[in-house]
Amino acid sequence: MTFRTIDDLAISGKRVLIRVDLNAPVKDGVVTDATRLEAVGPTIRDVIAKGGKPVLLAHFGRPKGKPDPAQSLAPIAPALAAATGVPVVFCGTTTGEEAADAIAALPGGAALLLENTRFHPGEEANDAAFAKALAALGDLYVNDAFSAAHRAHASTEGLAHLLPSAAGRLMAAELSALEKALTAPERPVIAVVGGAKVSTKLELLGNLSKRVDQIVIGGGMANTFLFAKGIEVGKSLCEAEMAETARAIIAGAAEAGCEIVLPTDIVVAREFRAGAASETLPAEACPADAMILDAGPETAAEIARRFEGAKTVVWNGPLGAFEIPPFDAATNAAALAAATLTEAGRLLTVAGGGDTVAALNASGAAARFSYVSTAGGAFLEWLEGKTLPGVAALEA
């Protein structure tokens, strides 16, 4: 796809409405992880450098269309200023005269953060009147919130049709990475798909099987696929009712020329806790009283070998119960192998999804991947082949 960026807009002297994702974790009024706040810095600083006034639109939590002090963006403003190096003024309203006056009074070099867009029922309803009320505050619109682009809301989709619009730096980087990974990738392409349940990733597997050359399946999902092949999985997490579906996925992938890769060895334990006694066994040898909690070292080494022959890796989900050592070993080993190849310039690695980001951060591989998306639902829907309303509205 082709899309406009802020370089395509005449920004000097203009009020620029920027949709950002500020959904950072807050405890006792203090932001505990500023990753998402830091990520919007380049767009805000560029708008200021080009002579524009940045006016930030964002949601926070799920206030269900009415004001909720517990979900106000007020505590985010000082943390955003610290994370971006830009002074941030907070306005307790989202539309109307008070917001317009705050924009007019905004000093040069600062950004204005308006109150939670979801305090208004018109936001999630993509109400035309609410979108117009937002548009009245700006001259230009920039969407820098890929993580919210799968929602057709007033501030993510409606506004793009009312003002000259473009993608921000973060959005542009995300779209570029995803295009290189799936739309026009260098082959061979390997997808790593983990997680608990096959039932939540049917559309993902169906789309990927038509786009990639190999799919490595891990986590609880792998147990269901092993079970579908007639392998006993003991007391492991397993969707036995999805066995027929799993067999259909394997057959469909084969028809499309895509290989499904399953664990050949497993790490099992009798209890799910850190440091629990565990053993490594062939995939066919899970004891009846044990749970499969990770792929084994042989499987991790095989995945690393496959990465050696690939050009592109798309990663969504861990290979095991990575939150609890020692069941993070396969995820860590495979992730570090991919990271090493990425740094050597031999592999493009794009990853995303909540558990994925946490797992790659824990392994130390995240910073060494080509691109790690913090967008959960939007990243997943892109991998599923769905049109994202917030992205489609930016197409040139």
List pLDDT tens digits, range 220-262. 999 999 999 999 999 999 999 999 999 999 999 999 999 999 9
Residue pointed to by tokens 């926070």: 60
Region 35-39: mean pLDDT is 91
pLDDT class for 1, splitting at 50, 70, 90? low
Tell me how far apart the alpha carbons of residues 80 and 66 are, in angstroms, rounded to a whole number.
24
- What are phi and psi for residue 288, nearest 5 degrees? -65, -25
Tell me how far apart the alpha carbons of residues 239 and 169 are, in angstroms, rounded to a whole number.
41
User: Can 197 be counted among the known catalytic residues?
Assistant: yes
Mean pLDDT for the chain overall: 95
The one catalytic residue in 41, 92, 354, 385 is 354
User: Can 354 be counted among the known catalytic residues?
Assistant: yes
- Burial class from Cβ neighbours inside 10 Å (0-12, 13-18, 19+) for residue 396 reads exposed
- The continuous run of DSSP H or E covering 378 comes out as helix 377-383
pLDDT class for 28, splitting at 50, 70, 90? confident
The pLDDT value given to residue 355: 86
pLDDT class for 3, splitting at 50, 70, 90? confident
Given a cut of 70, is residue 163 above it in pLDDT?
yes
Tell me how far apart the alpha carbons of residues 382 and 390 are, in angstroms, rounded to a whole number.
12
pLDDT class for 184, splitting at 50, 70, 90? confident
Looking at per-residue pLDDT, the higher value among 233 and 27 belongs to: 233
The one catalytic residue in 206, 252, 377, 385 is 377
Region 357-384: mean pLDDT is 90
Region 112-129: mean pLDDT is 97
Tell me how far apart the alpha carbons of residues 171 and 20 are, in angstroms, rounded to a whole number.
10
Residue pointed to by tokens 């290189």: 180
- The continuous run of DSSP H or E covering 15 comes out as strand 15-19
Strand order of the β-sheet with 312-316 is: 259-261, 214-217, 189-193, 312-316, 348-352, 371-373
CA-wise closest residue to 116 among 161, 70, 162: 70
What's the Rg (C-alpha) of the chain?
A: 23
Q: Which residues contact 201 (CB under 8 A, 6 or more apart)?
A: 193, 195, 221, 317
The one catalytic residue in 36, 201, 211, 368 is 36
Least reliable range by pLDDT among 34-38, 50-54, 288-292: 34-38
List pLDDT tens digits, range 299-329. 999 999 999 999 999 999 999 999 999 999 9
Q: Which letter does DSSP use for residue 120 in this model? A: S
The one catalytic residue in 197, 235, 270, 311 is 197
Before 78, cis peptide (omega within 30)?
no
CA-wise closest residue to 321 among 346, 286, 294, 295: 294
Given a cut of 70, is residue 365 above it in pLDDT?
yes
List pLDDT tens digits, range 59-97. 999 999 999 999 999 999 999 999 999 999 999 999 999
Given a cut of 70, is residue 396 above it in pLDDT?
no
CA-wise closest residue to 15 among 170, 117, 164: 164
Q: Which residues contact 85 (CB under 8 A, 6 or more apart)?
A: 41, 45
pTM given for the model: 0.87
The pLDDT value given to residue 24: 86
Tell me how far apart the alpha carbons of residues 371 and 177 are, in angstroms, rounded to a whole number.
7
Other C-beta atoms lying within 10 Å of the C-beta of residue 344? 8
